Structure 1
Amino acid sequence: MSGPALRKVDSHSAIHDAALQEARELTNVIERFWRNGNKERALKTAFITIEHWQTRTLAHADAEEEGLYQEIAAQSSEKHEKIMGLKRDHDLMRGIVSDLKEELSTNGMNEGIIQQLHALIIIDELHNQDEMKVLPDH
């Protein structure tokens, strides 16, 4: 069983919005550091951003999959299919975050990191919109 905040559209949306806004801000900081030639600060901030994705968005995704998604999927076959798509989104985000962490550790900061962080934000935005449509009280 998932917690009540995950089952209410308003509170669940607020959780998503806060984490996504933080991710946007961190990505913007990385980009400013990078564009201004402060590569070391960009790299440090990129690692902080990866940690943010892991501890906020992906930890939230884990909680959704352990309870909320199971509850929703049990409601109907249509919702079950939508939940499978939402889980796929989580897997995509996990894969990108893992790849980014590996790239940063192996090769350091580069332009591609910034592009992938922006892509991650877009995936999460679209995911959040789809997820709000399947919550029980939506």
Structure 2
Amino acid sequence: MSGPSLKKIDAHSSIHEAALNEAKELRNLLKKCMDDGEMTKAVQVAEITIEHWESRTLKHAESEEEGLYKDIAAEHPSLENLIAQLTRDHDLMRRIVQKIKQELETQTVNERMLKLLDCLVIIDEFHNEDEMNKLLANNET
């Protein structure tokens, strides 16, 4: 059973928007640190950015998969394919976060990390749009 705010499109959208905006700000801060040659600070920002993705977006994704998606699939079996696609988005984000974490083990940052963070943002933007417009738009309770 999912929490009531996950089924309310406005509340759910606000959760997504806040997390995504914070992620974008952290990505931009990382780029600025790199541009300014502040590599120690850049590593710290990258670590905070990954922590953000794990604790906000991916934790939220987990709660969607364990509750919201199961509830909607039970009520609307015709949406199972869409739910599988949304779950795949979560899996891609998890894999990208894991890749960045592995690269951060060297305590260095690089342009590839920025590209991977950009990929996370793009996937999350498409995912949020699909979730709001295709999954929740007609399923509010």
TM-score, structure 2 normalization: 0.94
- Work out the CA distance in 2 between the residues paired with 1:84 and 1:74: 14
- Work out the CA distance in 2 between the residues paired with 1:100 and 1:78: 35
- Work out the CA distance in 2 between the residues paired with 1:95 and 1:42: 21
Structure 2's unaligned 5+ residue stretches are: none
- Work out the CA distance in 1 between the residues paired with 2:112 and 2:24: 16
The 5 A counterparts of 1:90-105 are: 90-105=90-105
SS of 1:74's equivalent in the other structure is helix
Q: Identity of aligned pairs, percent? A: 52
Deviates more, 1:105-114 or 1:25-34: 105-114
Counterpart position of 2:21: 21
- Work out the CA distance in 1 between the residues paired with 2:78 and 2:40: 48
Structure 1's unaligned 5+ residue stretches are: none
Counterpart position of 2:55: 55
1:134 maps to a residue whose letter is L
Counterpart position of 1:82: 82
Counterpart position of 1:68: 68
Aligned residues: 138
Counterpart position of 1:8: 8
2:30 maps to a residue whose letter is I
Counterpart position of 1:37: 37
Counterpart position of 2:140: 137
Deviation at 1:107, TM superposition (A): 5.8
Deviation at 1:36, TM superposition (A): 1.1
- Work out the CA distance in 1 between the residues paired with 2:48 and 2:140: 35
- Work out the CA distance in 2 between the residues paired with 1:64 and 1:137: 14
Counterpart position of 1:114: 114
Deviation at 1:75, TM superposition (A): 2.6
- Work out the CA distance in 2 between the residues paired with 1:2 and 1:77: 17
SS of 1:108's equivalent in the other structure is coil
Deviates more, 1:66-75 or 1:91-100: 66-75
1:104 maps to a residue whose letter is L
- Alpha-carbon RMSD across the aligned residues, in angstroms, is 1.2
Deviates more, 1:105-114 or 1:120-129: 105-114
- Work out the CA distance in 1 between the residues paired with 2:93 and 2:49: 13
Task: Please give the per-residue CA displacement for 1:46-75, whole angstroms capped at 9, x wherever unaligned.
Answer: 000000000000000000000000011123
Query: After TM superposition, what 4+ stretches of structure 1 lie above 3 angstroms from structure 2?
Result: none
- Work out the CA distance in 1 between the residues paired with 2:27 and 2:20: 10
